[in-house]
Each structure stands twice: as C-alpha cells, then as structure tokens.
Structure 1
Amino acid sequence: MISLNFEKSADGLLPAIVQDYRSGEILMLAYINRLAWEKTLETGKAHFWSRSRSKLWLKGESSGHIQIIHDILVDCDEDTVVFKVEQLGNAACHTGHRSCFYRKVENDKFIVQGEKVFDPEQVYGKT
C-alpha cells in the first residue's frame, strides 16, 4: 500500500484538501491519519480523522453527503494530499453550504457567498 509521511507530524495527522473533481472548487480541509488514509484507499470514499471527536470519520456518515474519490494528489514531501471528489448531496459543509469556504473577507468583515444547499437543523438536529 502507498504510504505517506505521517511521522513528519507530531500528532500523525496530515492535511487533506478536498476539491470538486469537475470544477476545481475547494470544498473543505480536513485531516487524515494512517487509518483514514487506508480506509480511503480501500473504499474509494473520503475518510478523515476527527480532531474534535478523536475518531475515524467517513465524510457523509451523518448527512449522506459522501465524497467519492476520483483522484488523489500527493505533494513532494508526502505530507499533504488533495482528494478530488464527487460530492454527493451537493454540500460539503456542516453549515449547509456547498463549500466550507463560503465566506470572503472584504475590508473588515465576512461576506457570505452562495446560498445554503440544506438546512443543518433538519440534517443534524443542530447548526
């Protein structure tokens, strides 16, 4: 199995940039450990390590908004990946937006771009 340089990080976590495979839109940034990497390669679905819950996380396991891997790019140091995915459910962000990067900095405030794709209250029971 292809291995990454997990030893480079003190906590064994490497950044995973998630990008729409068609449009190139950046959907989110998450972290992978060795287990998440292996599950992603094994299943073809994006898995991450949840830092807040300290557990393996299949993207979309609660919402149904699964990410199907189309390509994986690895940087020159083997310590960062880009997952090019098909985003099922049309939303990557738990807030209901398509991308986690839905706010633009303009002057001294955030400007929200785009509309929510789903209501997080209905999907998760919270925002």
Structure 2
Amino acid sequence: MMNNYNIERICTSSAERALLFAKEEARSFGHDVDARHLILGLLKEGKGIGAKHLNHMRVSAESVRELVQEAPKTTAYFRVGLQNHLERAFEECMRLGHDFIGSEHLLLSILDDGDNCEIFRRLKVDPSAERNNLLRLLGS
C-alpha cells in the first residue's frame, strides 16, 4: 500500500490540479475530501479526460455543490476519503498499464465505488455505464 505522498508523486499535472482543487473545495465547506469534492476538483481542473467525461455526463459543478451543501459533513454515503480514492486510482492506472495517475483514473475510482451510488443517482448518472464508457474511451 502506498501512502498519499507517494501516490500523488506519480500523478499527471491535471490529476495534481484536480486534487488541489478538491482539497480547496473540501476546506471551503469545512469537510474532509470525499468523492463530491473530487468531482468538483475534476470539473474545476477542466482540461483532463476526467473533466471532459464529467462534462459529457452532463455533471455540473453547481449540481455537485448543491449535494455538498445539502448533506451534513459526515454522511454514510460519502464515507470513502481521499486516501482510498488515490489507492483505487493507482490500481486503475496499473490495471490499464499506464505509467501515471491521470484525472481519468480518479474518475474511474469514483465511478467504481458503490458508496457513491447516491451521488450519481441524484445527478441522474448511471455510474456503471459511464465507467464502461470511460474504459472504452481509454481503449480498455
């Protein structure tokens, strides 16, 4: 298992920016980073594959911010934190034979996490279908 620092050292610049923005978003709400903040970070980064796919899914920063504002700071369906998502993104990266963690791997980690079903249900997104679409786009 890699620690947070080691994993972040193998991120692309778009993934690094998305993580930075996710941390800023979480801090602005007084939260720890979870999937909602990672989605916001990906959207704010705007240039990586993760952001482009979220835009394709018609997920907007405004709709995600509404979810953040509506939910208490600790909610059962937002349990998985940043470290877990980084580890999952690393696993996705390795499984796909990629050398660096990109924004697409961060998004795959979010889409693959069953704890995020409520987020996607409220955003009217089928996470399984979108995960498969993204994997097809990546040539897997």
TM-score if structure 2 supplies the norm length? 0.33
Task: Flag the structure with higher strand content.
Answer: 1
Looking at both structures, which has the greater relative contact order when contacts are Cα pairs under 8 Å and sequence separation is at least 6? 2
TM-score if structure 1 supplies the norm length? 0.35
